[in-house]
Amino acid sequence: MKNLLLTLGLALALGAASFGTFYLLNREPAALREAAREGDAKLWLRTEFHLDEARFAAIESLHEQYLRVCAGHCAAIMAAQRRQAPSAEIAALEATCVRSMTDHFHRVAALMPPADGARYLAIVLPRVADYDHRGAPTLEGSH
């Protein structure tokens, strides 16, 4: 009976340790899935690139500053579309928007460790290359 209880206790302890290890190792993928499901780009960015408080705060500040720039580009493109501007004018406005987004993404990447910054750019730059200017880029791609 004593050996049975010892064996059960040992099995229970091993099971708990295995579960704890599995849980700790799989928290980040769960956070990534949650971020994608919620469309939370900031949570995705923070989790995917393991950003500490200082780096995340710096990136968040860049993002807040860029929102005004982005809104200006969107307003200019929509105004040109509403007044049915020549396609060359709209294309020039869209190209300015893409250059601006690309520059912003490079500034964000510069705040990350080099390998993470390169990986970030490999993820986001293709979304800008085929951007359709019908809404903000998302984790799933542009609208």
87-105 per-position pLDDT tens digit: 999 999 999 999 999 999 9
Q: In whole numbers, what is the pLDDT of the chain averaged over residues?
A: 77
At residue 100, the pLDDT reads 95
Listed range (16-20, 28-32, 86-90) with the worst mean pLDDT: 16-20
pLDDT band at 125 (very low <50, low <70, confident <90, very high): very high
HEC letters along the chain: CHHHHHHHHHHHHHHHHHHHHHHHHHHHHHHHHHHHHHCCHHHHHHHHCCCCHHHHHHHHHHHHHHHHHHHHHHHHHHHHHHCCCCHHHHHHHHHHHHHHHHHHHHHHHHCCCHHHHHHHHHHHHHHHHCCCCCCCCECCECC
pTM, 2 dp? 0.69
At residue 38, the pLDDT reads 62
pLDDT above 60: residue 35: no
**Which of residues 55 and 129 earns the better pLDDT score?**
55
